[in-house]
Structure 1
Amino acid sequence: MAERVTAFFDIDGTLGWTDPVAREQMSDDERKLSPVPSSVVADAIRRFVAAGNRAFICTGRSPLDIHPKMAALPFSGMACLAGAYVKVGDTVLRDVALPPEVLTCVDEVLAETGTGALLESARGSIDVRGGAAGTHQPSPGSVAEALELIPCRRAHKVVLPTPAARLVVERLAGVVDLSIMELELGNSEVGLRENCKSGAVRAILDYLGDAGTTYGFGDSENDLSLFKQVDVPVAMGNASPEVKAAAAMVTDTVGNDGVAKALAKLGLL
């Protein structure tokens, strides 16, 4: 019998991709959803799982912002919100939100700089002051108002213009251990340093016990911590040079079904 293996898949730039400029022109509901995999990649995930293996989503997105067509694939669980929320089946392994002092500081910085932000939680995401782009109106005028619209009244990470994100991290230095990750369109996400893909994957592997050989697929800086926890890190052809250098294998780009090609080359289908 072939070994049962476990693989972790990033979403944006790995399983699928949406042009960030085009995404900004979408309706509010569409804009917040993840991309969908191509039919070739979706079929590869199904075949991978049908062969007796486990597949997990490993993303910075909120679980409620994962497109239904993506979520419908046979994943055994997910590590979301950059590791702040982790679930295997119906069992939640991690649910670590930002403390109140971080959200208060974000509110103050947004008011001072006249910028907006996106709050992301396990119960979805919501724009504040027009979102990081400042154009998504109507939206709550403060973090406090936005939290009232989130069922759990908690946020796990926040996306805001990079200068504002750096200001939040600087002001809370020595008070809360935060990390900052640069994204596209001049934005960055801020979250607790303890919330990372590495910790999320470790929690899942500890829960599974025997996971077999482990694989991680990614394309961006936040996937480097994922790569540290798996036996075989696989970088997409569209990944940054740093991510490619950390990988054991570089596959084709997301636009050319790189995940499906890698699974086939590795003999996992």
Structure 2
Amino acid sequence: MEKAVLFFDIDGTLLSEVTKEIPDSAVEALRRAKDAGHLLFINTGRTVCSIPAEIRRLPFDGYLCGCGTCIVYHDEILFQRSLSRERGRAVIEKMFECSLGGVAEGPEDVYFPERISRFDKLETTRRYFRAKGMGIECSMERGDFIYDKLFIYADGKSDLGSFLAFIDEDMEAMDRGGNAYEVIQKGYSKATACEFIVEKLGFTKDQAYVFGDSSNDLAMFEYADHAVAMGEHAEVLEPYTEYVTKTVEEDGIFHAMRHYGLI
């Protein structure tokens, strides 16, 4: 088979949200693909600082992070786009004004509200990152930091509409379900990251394969000719899916890569 470039989401695609582990079969599939000469990339909504250690130990050629706002190839940062400090601070202040919960995700750390919030999902996320040694050094209120994106939470007490209107000039919100929204910079996505790498490394679009499961994978599914949805995936991906594989826990990555003759 000709050389291909493969793009993988992390959560729910490589990393099981049930077992919290990467299946041995996926590790083996990545190793075989690498040995076959294919290039392997993570393409994630996570910012570069929060790529899990177990992912970094795998044979990836690079990391496309923050929904297209940071592109790393062989430890070299090829592209980085953060909000300005002034704009980033204004967005956070508006978030608090509108009674939303949220976490700011930057290239160096993640940033949480100083006080415990009323949003259970936010506090679960806080505990996850603390266990990884992140989100501890400074709070959203006090820190002088830059960030690439936000993850926000709303409820009946929130003025979500005013917040969305405030950010509309340069950011957009992806509905992740359950009153949670991934707020990303306009003009950047998992698709722009794929396109950057395909063009930079001299591939054709037909040589690109994407693997994902959630709504924030939609852009790269719309971009790619070869789009693989995991056995459990967001319905919004279906019109753009070429192949549905098994679930993460059922060795979905291995089966998909074997289906395409990549291994």
Deviations 1:204-243 (A, max 9, x none): 1121013671101111222121123323111111112221
Structure-2 residue corresponding to 1:54: 39
Gaps of 5+ in 2: 128-134
d(CA) in 1 for partners of 2:209 and 2:137?
41
Give the deviation of 1:18 after TM superposition: 2.5
Give the deviation of 1:245 after TM superposition: 2.3
Structure-2 residue corresponding to 1:156: 148
d(CA) in 1 for partners of 2:52 and 2:138?
27
Structure-1 residue corresponding to 2:27: 42
d(CA) in 1 for partners of 2:226 and 2:39?
15
Instruction: Give 1:224's match in structure 2, choosing from 208, 218, 229.
Output: 218
d(CA) in 2 for partners of 1:141 and 1:83?
25
Q: What is the identity, as a one-letter code, of the residue corresponding to 1:143?
A: M
CA distance 1:166–1:67, shift in 2 (3 Å): farther
Deviations 1:119-155 (A, max 9, x none): 1011121212446645459968963513x3xxxx210
Q: Which moved more, 1:244-253 or 1:185-194?
A: 185-194
CA distance 1:204–1:164, shift in 2 (3 Å): farther
Structure-2 residue corresponding to 1:86: 71
Q: How does 1:70-149 map to 2 (within 5 A)?
A: 70-99=55-84, 100-113=86-99, 115-129=100-114, 130=116, 133=120, 135=123, 136=126, 143-146=140-143, 148=144
Q: What is the identity, as a one-letter code, of the residue corresponding to 2:208?
A: T
Gaps of 5+ in 1: 23-34
Deviations 1:51-105 (A, max 9, x none): 1111100000122212111111111111111111111113322211123324313
CA distance 1:141–1:11, shift in 2 (3 Å): closer
Q: Give the fraction of aligned pairs with identical amino acids, expressed as a percent.
A: 26
CA distance 1:196–1:249, shift in 2 (3 Å): same
CA distance 1:139–1:255, shift in 2 (3 Å): same
Q: How does 1:246-265 map to 2 (within 5 A)?
A: 246-265=240-259
Deviations 1:179-216 (A, max 9, x none): 10122553212121112111111111121013671101
Kindly indicate whether the alpha-carbon contact (under 8 Å) linking 1:106 and 1:168 is maintained by their aligned counterparts in 2.
Answer: no
Deviations 1:12-52 (A, max 9, x none): 11111325xx9xxxxxxxxxxxx541111111111111111
Q: Which moved more, 1:243-252 or 1:223-232?
A: 223-232
Give the deviation of 1:178 after TM superposition: 1.4
Structure-2 residue corresponding to 1:168: 163
Kindly indicate whether the alpha-carbon contact (under 8 Å) linking 1:215 and 1:233 is maintained by their aligned counterparts in 2.
Answer: yes
Structure-2 residue corresponding to 1:206: 199
d(CA) in 2 for partners of 1:64 and 1:102?
18
TM-score, normalized by length of structure 2?
0.83
Instruction: Give 1:239's match in structure 2, choosing from 228, 233, 237.
Output: 233
Q: Which moved more, 1:245-254 or 1:181-190?
A: 181-190
d(CA) in 1 for partners of 2:113 and 2:136?
6
Structure-2 residue corresponding to 1:26: none
